[in-house]
Amino acid sequence: MIELREIRKSYRGPGGPVRALDGVSLRVGADEFAVVHGPSGCGKTTLLLAAGALLAPDGGGVFVDGRDLYRMSLEERAHLRATTIGFVFQQFHLIPYLTVLENVLAGSLASPSRNALERAEQLLDQFGISSRSRHLPADLSTGERQRTALARALLNQPRVLLADEPTGNLDPDNAAALLAYIASFTAAGGVALVATHSDAAKAHADQIMEMSEGRIFGAEAAGAETAKERAQE
């Protein structure tokens, strides 16, 4: 479903170029929960931005269903982001003056749907925050804000979910709940790529990749049961 081939990306720094991605390659298929694990500053966020059609690499290719994202037109990439890819960020990026329900519905602005309201309400119920639907983000706990952000990311029923440090601001219970939601997404056929410095996501992962200084140093099957196996229980 999603593949990166020898991705390279550098930024200008005060001391010269900073190489954020140095020939990164990875592949994540349907039903897979993949984790890119590494310290802050190792290039994880740059990797996700490139994978999500938001940041063109300096070299290499990013493919979704065999299509090279950065050979598409701007309009084609925008359509793919709106219909195929969902994003979850550590800082939530909720709109402060919109209610929880309105924030979730904001995910449909780029790809309007007749049943957006019904689906938004279903997601809020699934994530246990339907009673907070008319509240503003400032009224929510940290865990509720992250669940709202996840509901927004899933509103358009994307096939790919990209999450950047999704548990970084959460306590252990809320982190476990959020990761379980992502695991259920992959068990239903989705593709999840989670970038994190935490070990919590490893227990849910089908594939774990260690990252350091812009490089992936190997992928391994997770020791825990896979999302697909959990769904069969």
Quick one: pLDDT band at residue 227, thresholds 50, 70, 90?
very low
Closest to 158 (Cα-Cα) out of 79, 91, 92, 62 = 79
**Residues 141-168: what's their mean pLDDT?**
93
Q: The dihedral of CA 126, 131, 137, 139: what is its sign?
A: negative
User: Can you give the three-state secondary structure of 9-25, one letter per residue?
Assistant: EEEEECCEEEEEEEEEE
pLDDT digits 0-9 by tens, 175-207: 899 999 999 999 999 999 999 998 989 989 999
pLDDT digits 0-9 by tens, 57-114: 999 999 998 899 999 999 999 999 989 999 998 888 999 999 999 999 998 887 777 8
- 232 burial class (0-12, 13-18, 19+ CB within 10 angstroms)? exposed
- Does the pTM of the predicted model rise above 0.85? yes
Check residue 169 and give its pLDDT.
84
For 2-95+156-232, which CATH superfamily applies? P-loop containing nucleotide triphosphate hydrolases (3.40.50.300)
